[in-house]
Amino acid sequence: MSYVCSPSYSITIRLEIENRIGMFAMIATAISSAGGDLGSVDIVRVEKGKIIRDITVNARDEDHEKAIVKAIKTVDGVKVLRSMDRTFFSHEGGKIEIKNKLPVRDRNDLSKVYTPGVARVCMDIHHHKEHAYRYTIKGNSVVIVSDGTAVLGLGDIGPEAALPVMEGKAMIFKEFAGIDAFPIVLATKDVDEIVNTVKNIAPAFGGINLEDISAPRCFAVEARLRKMLDIPVFHDDQHGTAVVVLAALINVSRLLKRALKKFKVVVVGAGAAGSATARILLASGVKDIIVCDKAGAVYQGRKQDMDPAKRNLAKVTNPRKVKGSIADAMKGADVFIGLSAPNIITPDDIRRMSKDPVVFALANPDPEIAPEEAHAVVRVMATGRSDYPNQINNMLGFPGIFRGLLDVRATGVNEAVKLAAAKAIAHTVGEEELHEDYIIPSIFDRKVAASVAAAVAETARKTGLARH
């Protein structure tokens, strides 16, 4: 359940209203009494004795949407003609399309872009495969691949249900980095089939963005594809999340004037995002990291619910060998990073942390603790949501990361690239701007993608990933 009204639950209600004084005031009162957030009001048409209006209202969730409509229906002289969920309407017919860059107006145009002229370009690429970057979409294209097994906080909902997320990601690639991204959802959970499918379609693309593939299979898929392919393979749920979390923590370090290596960090969630976050924090100099899952702290020798990925993680984290529950792990910690499930910690858990506790509650759509509950006991609070300050969101990372990799025709991704991206995101926020409610730039700050792209491209060149 959402805690505040959000555009994610926005409805447009068409009303037939008796044309007499005071009617709109009564409607507005009904919406307010139901807890709705009144937005735009438009006149559709005026009829004899009646006005037809479209009223947009933000709600907290679907039940709240229904409650608002019900409240409006109680107003005498008002008839609800229809109610439309604006989120569903925005997805109607899909959210992306393909457009031609060149017109095809006549035979001359056709002869250049298709037959017979295209044959010459085909043969040039046949003799010089690298020319595909120049003469096709390959140099500016990414494929977004998912099997629908770990979609948002919804879990295994299948490839078709994952497609709206992949389309949305493609929109972000285009809007913020000018990259043509293609959503591909696969009707298989078999690692071999996923790997072979991606390998076989890879020639058309300059990069592979793996998305919403559940752990631990995602680790195997990514590792195998990286060995097979000569283009970047990037599992955004892992590395995109990790990059942006590190960026936020770098700025917490700047704000509190405390070195990263001195932070005691608890990461809750030992899946793709949690594992990658722990590893990038280690690479950035953080020494004391405890990773937790549903069974509590992960440590060497633990028997319960341990797979190979967790056993490897246990070897490099939890240096104090802390055992017990999430609450036990949080005692004395400086930073809590939640990449797990809603409502799993309490204000009392935070009170047992160190002075000036930092809480990144990043479960979506509902965080590990509601900001309203944590506000009084935290120094810095961040979520994955857009309706609170400090939104830690992957879109601060992946557009610029892929832009930089494509610009140099990179052969892969390495740790140095990810660290460079995190630092670039962090330092988009100037010293004079930095405060508790602004530790991470806005996802709409157009400087971010450009800054990240430049840092990634430079690092790729320095570390031998660049083709040019």
Residue 418 confidence (pLDDT) above 70: yes
Average pLDDT over residues 444-451: 94
Phi-psi region of 436 (alpha: psi -120 to 50; beta: other; left: phi over 0): alpha
Mean pLDDT computed over every residue of the chain: 94
CATH of 6-90 given 3.90.420.10, 3.30.70.260, 3.40.50.720, 2.40.160.20:
3.30.70.260
pLDDT at 3: 62
Residue-wise pLDDT tens digits, 180-222: 999 999 999 999 999 999 999 999 999 999 999 998 899 999 9
CB 288 within 8 A of CB 265: yes
* Active site residues per annotation: 114, 169
Per the structure block, which two tokens stand in for 122?
Answer: 């085909």
Average pLDDT over residues 421-439: 95
**What residue ranges do the domains of the chain occupy?**
6-90, 107-231, 236-468
Residue-wise pLDDT tens digits, 298-352: 999 999 889 888 999 999 999 999 999 999 999 999 999 999 989 999 999 999 9
Residue-wise pLDDT tens digits, 112-150: 999 999 999 999 999 999 999 999 999 999 999 999 999
pLDDT-derived band at 295 (thresholds 50, 70, 90) equals: very high
Class of domain 236-468: alpha beta
Q: Model-level pTM greater than 0.85?
A: yes
Same fold, 6-90 and 236-468: no
* Helical segments of 74-190, H only: 86-90, 107-113, 118-127, 132-135, 159-177
Residue 2 confidence (pLDDT) above 60: no
CB 461 within 8 A of CB 408: yes
Average pLDDT over residues 77-98: 92
pLDDT at 385: 84
Q: Measured between alpha carbons, how far is residue 122 from residues 113, 114, 158 in Å?
A: 11, 11, 37
Average pLDDT over residues 269-298: 94
Question: Closest Cα to residue 404, out of 356, 448, 359, 460?
Answer: 460
Residue type, 411: T
Residue-wise pLDDT tens digits, 17-61: 998 889 999 999 999 999 999 999 999 988 888 999 999 999 998
pLDDT at 440: 95
* Helical segments of 178-288, H only: 191-201, 217-228, 241-256, 272-283
- CATH homologous superfamily of 107-231: Malic enzyme, N-terminal domain (3.40.50.10380)
pLDDT at 52: 93
pLDDT at 173: 97
Percentage of residues in the chain with pLDDT exceeding 70?
Answer: 99
Residue-wise pLDDT tens digits, 353-370: 999 999 999 998 789 999
